Structure 1
Amino acid sequence: MVAPTTPPKNAFNAYARKVYNPLGFSKGYNFVLWFIFAGALFGFCLSRFMYLSFDTFCYGAPGGGAAPGECYYYTNFNTARVGITLHLAGVLPAGIIACLQFTPVIRHKAIIVHRIGGYIALLAYFTSLAGALMIARHSFGGGIDVQSAVYVLALMTTVSFVLSYINIKKLQIEQHRAWMLRGWFYASCIITNRIILILSTIIISKVGDYRTAWPCAKIAYTIADDAKTQRLYPECASYLNGTDSKQYSTVRARFGGEQTSAAEIGAAFNMTFGMALWVAMAIHAVGVEIYLHLTPREAERLRNVSYQRQLEAGMKSPGASGLTTDRLGDSEKWVPLSARKSSEGH
């Protein structure tokens, strides 16, 4: 539990401290941010644990689970099924563990739990990443926009987590914090993606003239009624009678309405997913940098802790043994707080 160093500003602040101090937070705004962002990630992952069952993911969750048409690939192609299984089995526990990793009381009181949890979270996340790369070609239509967004997100998170790992092995704690925050903020963009996805499907449905091409095999699988498929998509007659297994048809993107088919809903999601993911990635990338720039005192405090630990470990450049800007870039050489106080005293 963190002991307050200043008296509470009011009765509400005094009560709030009873909530966030036991969790290791010394400042209320940090607790609020943790509650919002870690809480969203925790809730999102927890609500989707049921999808670890493939049957539930594809067939047992109306209005949730896979988007209409997605399970055509997961049920007919072994690589896709293995990919989605790896992705869900890795990313859901990784997200839950990540929320605990950002709870200060665990880092302060149970450092071994924090270390083990970090290794497990990274291993699970990279497992999920392998699965995501396996399904990128077909996930939500598998367009170039979707594939490129998945590859860039994979690169951003991988680089962030690798740099975070390198820094913590060098006891450069403030850089470990910064890159770990970046990595999980980037990974969590999938939550914001869902919000943008729903809004954008509603918008293009209102516009009403967006269409995309689907294989007739996917259309027939999604509608699950050959007569209805032939009536709505007469181009698929050759597929349905077995003369052309590779026939395609255009599908209108539409979300909502009495006459909307499952294929139209799936098409709406397919057309907007890549765009939504790119926008969500941009929002999270900017957001985490704003947060890091607004918390320089925490970074400075952790750098002084890093200096002390590196000094005790006998490292050559205490305070800058990791990947710091004064070591790799052109910033002024960092001076520890103890040295600054000594110079001021003289």
Structure 2
Amino acid sequence: MAQPTRPPKNPFNAFARHIYNPLGFSKAYNFLLWFIFAGALFGFSLARMMYLNFNIFCGHSTGGNSAAPGECYYYRNFDFYKTGIYLHLVGILFSSLLAVFQFTPFIRHKAIILHRIGGYAALLLWIVATVGAFMIARRAFGGGLDVQAWIGIVGFGSTISFSISYYNIKRLQMEQHRAWMLRGWFYAGSIITTRFILIASASVISNLQSFYTVWPCAKILFVFNNAATPVLRNYPTCASYINGTNPWQEAVVHANMNSGLPTEAGAALNMSFGMALWVALAMHAVGVEVYLHLTPKEAERLRNVSYQRQLEAGMRNPGSAGLTGDRLGDSESWVPESLGKKSG
């Protein structure tokens, strides 16, 4: 249990400490941020565990279809994409759950072996999830270049962040391990914020009534459960596909969540998804830097702990044995508190 350094300001604060101190938090704002962000990741992952049952995530035969309209055409008809989505779901859901526990101070402080094992498992699962994401990038939510670029940036960006974090913890540079691990998961967590932006954007373009996209007729027919009548009524250009004269025929689809047509709802989501991804990523990339700059005392505390452990391990440049600004850049040399000075 974390020990508070100051008496409670009021009865509510005293009550709150009974909640967050056992989890290892000594300050309310740290617990609040953990509760919001880790809680969102935890809830998002748990809510989607049912998708590991493919017939719930994507299956007309059972009445289940939790994917966006049209997505399941590729996942059900092409083994490559089905394998990719399954790898992604298994990897990202379990690695996200592990990440929540990794950011819980009690586990880091009282069960360090579990923290280490959980860290290795989370990284391995993240790699599995990223491989799966790369496999489906060409088809996910329309597979536009904006979506593919985001998957590449976040996939490699988070992986590089985790790799830097791993290197730093092997060098006992704890504040850099914390910073880069936070960056990696904040980038990855932007997919949650994307959902809110996606719904808002799809609603806006539906009301504007002026957005259109192009879908293969095979995908349109799949969305209508292979019923030719509604397809021909709404997309007559697909007649050549249905009669077999043109297997590559495509049709223009209106992006409209309000029409009642699943194809148009899917088109609205597809057109909004790429934009939502990039806006969410920008928000998270800025947000994590703001958080890191607002918590310099925690970074300084961890750096002093790093100094002591690196000194005991006989490392060169204790306090800066990892990837630090004074070692790689032009910042002033860091001096530990034990020498009676503050960092430069």
TM-score (norm 2): 0.97
2-side partners of 1:239 and 1:299: how far apart? Answer: 61
Contact 2:56–2:65 under 8 Å retained in 1 = no
1:240 to 239, 242, 248: 242
Corresponding position of 1:176: 177
Aligned to 1:139: 140
Q: Output one character per residue of 1:116-138: Cα deviation in whole Å (capped at 9) or x when no partner.
A: 00000010011000000000001
CA positional deviation for 1:64 = 6.5
Aligned partners of 1:167 and 1:173 also within 8 Å: yes
User: CA separation in 2, counterparts of 1:207 and 1:72?
Assistant: 28
Counterpart residue identity of residue 299, structure 2:
A
Structure 1: which 5+ residue stretches go unaligned?
none
Q: Distance in 1 between matches of 2:238 and 2:205?
A: 25
Q: Which residue of 2 aligns with 1:311?
A: 311
Contact 2:55 2:64 in 1 (8 A): no
Which residue of structure 1 lines up, in the alignment, with residue 324 of structure 2? Answer: 324
RMSD over aligned Cα, in angstroms?
1.3
Matched residue, 1:73: 74
Separation in 2 of the partners of 1:316 and 1:150?
Answer: 38
Letter in 2 for 1:205: S
Counterpart-to-counterpart distance in 2, 1:49 and 1:256: 29
Paired residue for 2:127?
126
* Aligned partners of 2:55 and 2:65 also within 8 Å: no
Contact 1:215 1:248 in 2 (8 A): yes
Offset of 1:62 from its aligned partner?
7.2
Q: Which runs of 5+ in 2 are unaligned?
A: none
CA distance in structure 2 between the aligned counterparts of 1:68 and 1:62, rounded to whole angstroms: 13
Q: Does the 8 A contact of 2:224 with 2:231 survive in 1?
A: yes
**Deviations, residues 183-215 of structure 1 (Å, cap 9, x unaligned):** 001100000000000000000000011000000
Q: Aligned equivalents of 1:263 and 1:291: distance in 2?
A: 41
Aligned pair partner of 2:253 in 245, 251, 254: 251
Moved over 3 A (4+): 60-64
Question: Who is 2:50 aligned against?
Answer: 50
Question: Using the alignment, how far apart are the partners of 1:44 and 1:145 within structure 2?
Answer: 24
Do 1:223 and 1:261's aligned partners in 2 also have CA atoms closer than 8 Å? no
Instruction: Give, as a single letter, the amino acid of the residue that structure 1 aligns with 2:89.
Output: L
For 2:132, the aligned partner's letter is: G
In 2, the alpha carbon distance for the partners of 1:186 and 1:209 equals 32
Residue 318 of structure 1 aligns to a residue in which SS? coil
Question: What residue is the counterpart of 2:150 in the other structure?
Answer: 149
Q: What is the count of residue pairs matched by the alignment?
A: 340
Name the SS for the 2:340 alignment partner: helix
Secondary structure at the residue paired with 2:247? coil
Letter in 1 for 2:171: K
- Measure the CA separation in 2 of the matches of 1:2 and 1:140: 45
- TM-superposed deviation, 1:340: 2.1
Q: What is the deviation of 1:256?
A: 2.3
Residue in 2 that maps onto 1:115: 116
**TM-aligned CA deviation for residue 65 of structure 1:** 2.3
Overall identity of the aligned pairs, in %? 62
